[in-house]
C-alpha cells in the first residue's frame, strides 16, 4: 500500500503544481498517471508547441513547462505510479480513500485530488472487425517491453513519431519489421524520418505505403494481417505481432463511476470555496472539473491547486491554525522554520 | 461586419443552423464548441493545433475552402472514418465565403 497525504490522479501540469503547493504546507503527495511519463497532454499531444499564457513566460514549449514544474515540485519528493490507470476508489472507515489501479497497485490517502485533464489517454483503435479478438494475443497498442518482440515478426501501422520511433527501436530486436502507413509522407520529427529512411535503404525495415491494414487472421494468436494497397489490391503478410500506433484519445474512464457529480463530461466542483466535489475529501482541479465560468487554462488549474491545498490542510489538520506564508519571506520550507534564505541586499550609503 | 449562417449536422444527425461571427477569428471547430454541438471533451482535444483528429468533419456543400496544410493532411492520414470530403474543422477559418456551408461532424473516435 502506497501512503501519502494527498493522492493526485493525473501528472499533468496542474497535478505537478499541486505537489508544490501541498509541499509548502508539508503535505506529501503521490501521483498516478496512465502515461509512462509525467506531463499529461503537454507531453503526449503537443510537447513542442509553444504556450504563451503562462504568467511570466512570454513563450515556453509545453515539454519545457513540464520540465520546470518537475524541477519545482521535485524538492518535495512526490511519488509516482506511472503507466497505470486509477480504476476504483473505496472509502475507509476513517474517511481515508484507497485507490486501486488496473495493475492492482493500492494507494491510501485521506485526500484524493483528481487532476485528470480530459481523462486517461486510451489508444485509438483502428476500425478492423475482429480487432478485439487479438488484443493480448498478437495485437499490442503500447510497447512496454521491447524484448517481448525479440526475434519475432512485427508489423507497425501509423505515420507519426511513435510509429517511426518504435520501428527504429524494434529493428534491432525483432526478426522483421514492417511499417504500414496510409500515405507516403510521415508525420514525425525529421530525425526519426531520416533514421527510418536509412534503415529502409539497408533493407532492415519494410515500408508499405500508401496502404492500410484492413484484416487480421489467426486461430488463437495473430498469424497474419491483410494489407490493402491504394489500388484496392490486398496482400497477406505473415506476422507475430501487429502494433497500431494511431495516437491516444482521452476518455474520462473509470472515474465516471466513482459517484461524483458529472456535468458535460467533467466533474462538478464547488468553485466558491475549494474545488471539492460532492464527495468530501475528493477534489477535482484543472481541465477535469467544471463550474460556472470555468476556463480550461493551465493557469486557472494552478490557482485551483493553491485553493484546494488550503482545504486539504484543514481536513488533515483540523486543530491547527494555518497562516499563509509567502515564499519570499520564508522560502519553500518556511512551515517548520527551515528555509532557503535569500541573499541579503547590500546596505550601503550612497554618498 | 455581419454574421453568416453555417449549417452543422451533429453526430446524431441533427441539423443546426448557427450564426458564425466573422470578427472573432474563429474556426469551425470553435464554432461547434461554442454552440455545444458535440461533447466538450470529444472535440478539439488538442485545442486546434491539427494534432488530434477529434474535430474531423465532412464538407457536404460545394464551397471552395482554404487548402489543407501539410499538418492537416498528415493528421487526416491517421484519422479513422475518413472520406474524401474530410477536413479538420479547426483548420477552417470562418470567412464570408463560407456562407451557408454545410458540414457534418465525423463520428467520435
Give the pairing of strands B56-59 and B101-105: antiparallel
**pLDDT for the residue numbered A298:** 97
Computed over every residue of chain A, the mean pLDDT equals 91
In 3D space, the residue among A253, A240, A246 whose CA is nearest the CA of residue A134 turns out to be A240
**Residues of chain A contacting B46 with CB distance shorter than 8 Å:** 41, 45-46
- For residues A76 and A22, the answer to whether their CB atoms sit within 8 Å is yes
What is the dihedral sign for C-alpha A311, A316, A320, A323?
negative
Is the Cβ of B40 closer than 8 Å to some Cβ of chain A?
yes
Q: Which residue's entry shows cell 467533467?
A: A266
Residue A204 pLDDT exceeds 80: yes
Residue A288 grid coordinates: 477535469
Structure confidence by residue, pLDDT tens digits, A230-273? 899 999 999 999 999 988 888 888 999 999 999 888 999 998 89
Query: pLDDT grade, residue A344 (50/70/90)?
Result: low
The dotted CATH code for B4-105 is: 3.10.20.30
- For residues A143 and A165, the answer to whether their CB atoms sit within 8 Å is no
Which chain B residue has the Cα nearest residue A248?
Answer: B52
CATH 3.75.10.10 fits A2-121+249-336, yes or no: no
Q: Which residue's entry shows cell 485553493?
A: A307
Of B46, B74, B80, the CB nearest to A45: B46
Which chain B residue has the Cα nearest residue A290?
Answer: B40
What is the spatial distance between Cα B92 and Cα B27, in angstroms, rounded to a whole number? 5
Residue A7 grid coordinates: 493522492
Residue A54 pLDDT exceeds 70: yes
HEC sequence for A240-257? CEEEECCCEEEECHHHHH
- For residues A59 and A72, the answer to whether their CB atoms sit within 8 Å is no
A62-74 and A13-24 helices cross at what angle (nearest 10)?
Answer: 20
DSSP A244-301: E---EEEE-GGGGGSS--EETTEEE--TTTT-B-SSTTEEE-GGGEE-TT----HHHH
In 3D space, the residue among B84, B27, B13 whose CA is nearest the CA of residue B55 turns out to be B27
CA A75 → CA A59, A181, A208, A332, distances in Å? 25, 44, 48, 9
In 3D space, the residue among A199, A198, A237, A243 whose CA is nearest the CA of residue A218 turns out to be A237
Q: Answer yes or no: do B71 and A118 touch at CB < 8 A.
A: no
Query: pLDDT grade, residue A8 (50/70/90)?
Result: very high
Residue A239 grid coordinates: 506476422
Report the C-alpha dihedral over residues A133, A135, A136, A140, rounded to 10 degrees.
Answer: 150
What is the spatial distance between Cα B89 and Cα B103, in angstroms, rounded to a whole number? 9
- For residues A179 and A163, the answer to whether their CB atoms sit within 8 Å is yes
pLDDT per residue as tens, chain B (109 positions): 689 999 999 999 999 999 999 998 999 999 999 999 998 888 998 889 888 899 999 999 999 999 999 889 988 988 899 999 999 999 999 999 999 999 999 998 7
Is the Cβ of B80 closer than 8 Å to some Cβ of chain A?
yes
Q: Answer yes or no: do B46 and A159 touch at CB < 8 A.
A: no
Residue A188 pLDDT exceeds 90: no
Q: Answer yes or no: do B74 and A187 touch at CB < 8 A.
A: yes
**Residues of chain A contacting B52 with CB distance shorter than 8 Å:** 45, 247, 249
Is the Cβ of B32 closer than 8 Å to some Cβ of chain A?
no
Q: What is the SS3 assignment for A43?
A: helix
What is the spatial distance between Cα B39 and Cα A59, in angstroms, rounded to a whole number? 30
Q: Answer yes or no: do B45 and A249 touch at CB < 8 A.
A: yes
Report the C-alpha dihedral over residues A146, A156, B79, A165, rounded to 10 degrees.
Answer: 50
Kindly indicate whether the ipTM for this predicted assembly is greater than 0.95, answering yes or no: no
Mutation test of the interface with chain A: which of B38, B78, B88, choosing the one with the most A Cβ atoms within 10 A?
Answer: B78
**pLDDT for the residue numbered A345:** 65
- For residues A164 and A194, the answer to whether their CB atoms sit within 8 Å is no
Region A87-104: what's the mean pLDDT?
95
**pLDDT for the residue numbered A47:** 87
Q: What is the SS3 assignment for B23?
A: coil
Region A163-171: what's the mean pLDDT?
93
Q: Answer yes or no: do B45 and A266 touch at CB < 8 A.
A: no
What is the spatial distance between Cα A282 and Cα A270, in angstroms, rounded to a whole number? 11
What is the layout of strands, in order, in the sheet containing A29-33? A79-82, A29-33, A6-9, A111-114, A282-284
Domain topology for A125-246 = FAD/NAD(P)-binding domain (3.50.50)
Amino acid at each position: 500500500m502506497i501512503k501519502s497525504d494527498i493522492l493526485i490522479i493525473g501528472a499533468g501540469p496542474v497535478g505537478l503544481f499541486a505537489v508544490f503547493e501541498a509541499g509548502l504546507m508539508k503535505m506529501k503527495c503521490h501521483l498516478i498517471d496512465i502515461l509512462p511519463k509525467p506531463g499529461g497532454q503537454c507531453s503526449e499531444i503537443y510537447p513542442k508547441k509553444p504556450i504563451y499564457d503562462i504568467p511570466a513566460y512570454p513563450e515556453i514549449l509545453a515539454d519545457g513547462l513540464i520540465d520546470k514544474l518537475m524541477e519545482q515540485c521535485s524538492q518535495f519528493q512526490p511519488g509516482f505510479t506511472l503507466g497505470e490507470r486509477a480504476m476504483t476508489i473505496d472509502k475507509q472507515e476513517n474517511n481515508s480513500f484507497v485507490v486501486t489501479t488496473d495493475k492492482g497497485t493500492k494507494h491510501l490517502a485521506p485526500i484524493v485530488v483528481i487532476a485528470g485533464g480530459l481523462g486517461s489517454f486510451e489508444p485509438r483503435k483502428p476500425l478492423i472487425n475482429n480487432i478485439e479478438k487479438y488484443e493480448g494475443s498478437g495485437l499490442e497498442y503500447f510497447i512496454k517491453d521491447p524484448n517481448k518482440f525479440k526475434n519475432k515478426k512485427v508489423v507497425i501501422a501509423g505515420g507519426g513519431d511513435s510509429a517511426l520511433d518504435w520501428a527504429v527501436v524494434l529493428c534491432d530486436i525483432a526478426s522483421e519489421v514492417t511499417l504500414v502507413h496510409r500515405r507516403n509522407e510521415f508525420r514525425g520529427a525529421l530525425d526519426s524520418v531520416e533514421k527510418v529512411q536509412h534503415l529502409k535503404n539497408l533493407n532492415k525495415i519494410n515500408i508499405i505505403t500508401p496502404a492500410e491494414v484492413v484484416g487480421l487472421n489467426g486461430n488463437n494468436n495473430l498469424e497474419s494481417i491483410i494489407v490493402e494497397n491504394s489500388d484496392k489490391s490486398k496482400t497477406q503478410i505473415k506476422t507475430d505481432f501487429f502494433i497500431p500506433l494511431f495516437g491516444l484519445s482521452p476518455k474520462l474512464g473509470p472515474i465516471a463511476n466513482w459517484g461524483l457529480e458529472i456535468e458535460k463530461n467533467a466533474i462538478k466542483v464547488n468553485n466558491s470555496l475549494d474545488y471539492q466535489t460532492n464527495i468530501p475529501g475528493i477534489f477535482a482541479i484543472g481541465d477535469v472539473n467544471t463550474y460556472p465560468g470555468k476556463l480550461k487554462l493551465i493557469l486557472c488549474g494552478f490557482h485551483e491547486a493553491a485553493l484546494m491545498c488550503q482545504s486539504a490542510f484543514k481536513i488533515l489538520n483540523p486543530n491547527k491554525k494555518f497562516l499563509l506564508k509567502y515564499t519570499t519571506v520564508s522560502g519553500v520550507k518556511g512551515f517548520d522554520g527551515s528555509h532557503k534564505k535569500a541573499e541579503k541586499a547590500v546596505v550601503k550609503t550612497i554618498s | 461586419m455581419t454574421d453568416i449562417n453555417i449549417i452543422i449536422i451533429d453526430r446524431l444527425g441533427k441539423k443546426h443552423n448557427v450564426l458564425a461571427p466573422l470578427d472573432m477569428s474563429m474556426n469551425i471547430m470553435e464554432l461547434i464548441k461554442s454552440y455545444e454541438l458535440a461533447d466538450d471533451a470529444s472535440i478539439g482535444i488538442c485545442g486546434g493545433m491539427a494534432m488530434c483528429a477529434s474535430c474531423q468533419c465532412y464538407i457536404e456543400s460545394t464551397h471552395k475552402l482554404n487548402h489543407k496544410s501539410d499538418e492537416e493532411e498528415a493528421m487526416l492520414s491517421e484519422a479513422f472514418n475518413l472520406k474524401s470530403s474530410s477536413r479538420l474543422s479547426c483548420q477552417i477559418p470562418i470567412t464570408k465565403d463560407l456562407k451557408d456551408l454545410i458540414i457534418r461532424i465525423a463520428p467520435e473516435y
